[in-house]
Structures are given as C-alpha cells and as structure tokens.
Structure 1
Amino acid sequence: MTEDQFFNDLQTSLDQAIDHAKGKPSKARTKKVEIKELALFTAEEIKSLRLQMNLTQKSFAALMGVSIKAIESWERGTNQPSGSARRLLEILKNEPHLAEEQKIISL
C-alpha cells in the first residue's frame, strides 16, 4: 500500500465516521454490542470461589494480579474488587476450571 492509498483510505474512513456520528447515512460498518453489567461479589462469595478453586490467598492473589492484602480485604468485606477484577471473578465463577485449562495455573 502506497502512502497515497493509505491516506485516501484513512480519509474515507474518517469521513464515514463523521457522517455516522452526525446521523447521516454512510457505508460505515457498525455493530451494536450489549455488555452485561458488572456483578457484585460479597466477601463470602469471593472466599467461596477461592476455596472452590483450591487456592490459597497467595495463589488467588497471583491469579487475579493483585496483592494478598487486596484478597484479604475483599474476603473481609472492607474493600471491593475493581471493575476488571469483578469481571474476572464473574468469569471464574462461571468457569472455575478456566484458569487451569488455559494453563494460567497448575494444580
């Protein structure tokens, strides 16, 4: 792709995006995506999930990418997981063996 072709493609894409944003008919491809609201987890649910996965607080912290202190505070109910941690907790709640299947952990 030459520099002129790249510029022309980029200009066309930008024009389509602007037309779409203004509500004008355009050739821009769009797709509506619905994202499920983040789940809330109680301290008991977090601890139960960790125990179901047969993980120590240290191992669970490593899996979640947070400190052991964070896991302790979640399980005491003094702090709530962040949005991304809540999404990961939801995934693990639905598929507790996923981390092992993906070779993120080995038991």
Structure 2
Amino acid sequence: MGEQAFNDIMAGLEDALAYAKGDRSRGQETVVDIPTVDVRAARQRLGLSQPDFASAFGVSVATIRNWEQQRRQPKGAARVLLTVIERNPAAIMDALRDLRQDHKDGATEG
C-alpha cells in the first residue's frame, strides 16, 4: 500500500473515531431513506414459496409470514436486503449462488 493510501485511510479512521465520540465537525452524516418493501410481491416475482424464500435469504418462515401479513415490518439490514431483492434480485441470487458454491467447494476439500 502506498503512503498516500495509508494516510487517507488513517485520516478516515480518525474522523470516524471523532464522530463516534460526538465530534460532528468532521465529515458528514448521510441518511438514506429505505422505502418499505412489499415482501409478498418481491417473493412472488422470484417465483418462490414462503419456505423457499425464507431459506434462500436466511430468515424464518414465521418472519416472512409476519412481514407479508403486516404484523411486523422489516427493519435495519433486513429492510436493506429486501430492497435489493426487490430492485435487483439477480445481484442477490448471484452472490448467494457464489457463496453456496464456495461453501460446497470448501466442504469437499477438507
């Protein structure tokens, strides 16, 4: 790594630490409004059953049902993941396919 890259990374880390300690004068906070996702519509567009959707994305079937029946709303990382699933499902499916292949390859090596 070059000296300039190292200095840039260190400056960023120092800014992050200062921000975490309450110093809002360094850097800026960006808030991204993540829209609500129609989980049922996203799942149906992929042609997946509730159990298959839950298995594909690592959540329980009960969670999928709660989201679809509006008893609960996805929050945080789940909401971001669902937004990506809704807008670009191929990206998620490709990434998961790669991870599954890596896991399968690693499991057969040992």
Partner of 1:27: none
Q: Secondary structure at the match of 2:30?
A: coil
- Which residue of the other structure, out of 75, 79, 97, is the alignment partner of 1:82? 75
Judge conservation of contact 2:84–2:92 (CA < 8 Å) in 1: no
Structural mapping, 1:8-87, within 5 Å? 17=14, 21=18, 32=28, 34-41=30-37, 45-87=38-80
- C-alpha deviation, 1:75, in angstroms: 0.7
Deviation string for 1:18-54 (max 9, x for gaps)?
Answer: 9x94699xxxxx765634222222xxx2101001011
Alpha-carbon distance between aligned partners in 1 of 2:43 and 2:59, rounded to the nearest angstrom: 14
Corresponding residue pairs, total: 83
Alpha-carbon distance between aligned partners in 1 of 2:14 and 2:89, rounded to the nearest angstrom: 41
- Which residue of the other structure, out of 81, 85, 90, is the alignment partner of 1:92? 85
Overall identity of the aligned pairs, in %: 24
Structure 2 unaligned blocks of 5 or more: 1-9, 101-110
Higher deviation after alignment, 96-105 or 68-77: 96-105
Q: TM-score, normalised by structure 2?
A: 0.58
Judge conservation of contact 1:64–1:85 (CA < 8 Å) in 2: no
| Higher helix residue share | 2
- C-alpha deviation, 1:76, in angstroms: 0.7
Judge conservation of contact 1:61–1:71 (CA < 8 Å) in 2: yes
